[in-house]
Amino acid sequence: MDQPGIDPGEHALALAGLRRINAVSRCSASLFAPIRELAARHRGAPLRVLDLACGGGDTAIDLALMARRSAIPLILEGCDISPGAVAIARANAERRGAEARFFRADALADPLPSGPDGAAPGGYDVVLTSLFLHHLDDHDAEMLLALMGRRARQLVLVNDLIRSPLGYGLAWAGTRLLSRSWIVHTDGPRSVQGAFQLAEVAAMAERAGLQGATLQRCWPERYLLSWSRG
């Protein structure tokens, strides 16, 4: 799915499959819980949230809708290096009636380019990413964590896969049950093979300057990394 020049129709079908997989995995709910706790401490002040490498925008859209149902003021934005993914994310937000903005940017760039309508992308209270870290090698993954720490005023969140035999089996079966995309069927198991184990993520976070970051297991064979400034 990361290859340049991917057929737009195949890309859209793959992102739709990922949307179903993420819905079953409830990854958005695991990300929303710490954001809701942070919002409670802000006593009604809006939080600005950035989803890095957002793909089809499902996580950011889910968070925007959860926040609206919970009457929590969030400003949701997402960025992705793929113009096609950004276009799909914008269409998904409109279709689902979510207030979320999307723009093209490289998550590994420092600093990020301007956001939508020329708005400066800095000043995010929460910077998160979901199912992106496993696409990177050790060096780039550590660099991403360090960049997220510098960009986030308060909270960094990472939801991703755990490399394990159970995770591989779940990915192989789940991608075939929930998607018709051959890309998803291929990328799902390969993603688990390329993912990190919890000890590796903890060590990378420490080297990236995210001292005190916590890691917790989530269904199905995923983890949530959470780091708060101060």
Q: How does pLDDT run across 97-114, given as a tens digit for each residue?
A: 999 999 999 999 878 765
H/E element, 100: strand 100-104
Q: How many CA atoms lie within 13 A of 178 on its CB side?
A: 20
- 69-83, 113-127, 131-145, 178-192: least confidently modelled range: 113-127
How does residue 169 score in pLDDT terms, banded at 50, 70 and 90?
confident
Question: How many Å apart are CA 89 and CA 101, to the nearest integer?
Answer: 9
Whole-model pTM: value is 0.85
- 140-154, 175-189, 191-205, 211-225: least confidently modelled range: 175-189
Question: How many Å apart are CA 184 and CA 190, to the nearest integer?
Answer: 10
Q: How does pLDDT run across 112-150, given as a tens digit for each residue?
A: 765 555 555 558 999 999 999 999 999 999 999 999 999
Taking a C-beta distance cutoff of 8 angstroms, is the pair 86, 102 a contact?
yes
Kindly report the average pLDDT of the chain as a whole number: 86
How does residue 41 score in pLDDT terms, banded at 50, 70 and 90?
very high
What's the average model confidence in pLDDT over 155-175?
84
> For position 149, what pLDDT does the model report?
95
How does residue 23 score in pLDDT terms, banded at 50, 70 and 90?
low
> For position 191, what pLDDT does the model report?
80
Q: Is pLDDT of 180 > 80?
A: no
Percentage above 70 pLDDT, the chain? 81
Secondary structure (DSSP) of 43-69: TTPPEEEEEET-TTSHHHHHHHHHHHH
> For position 63, what pLDDT does the model report?
97
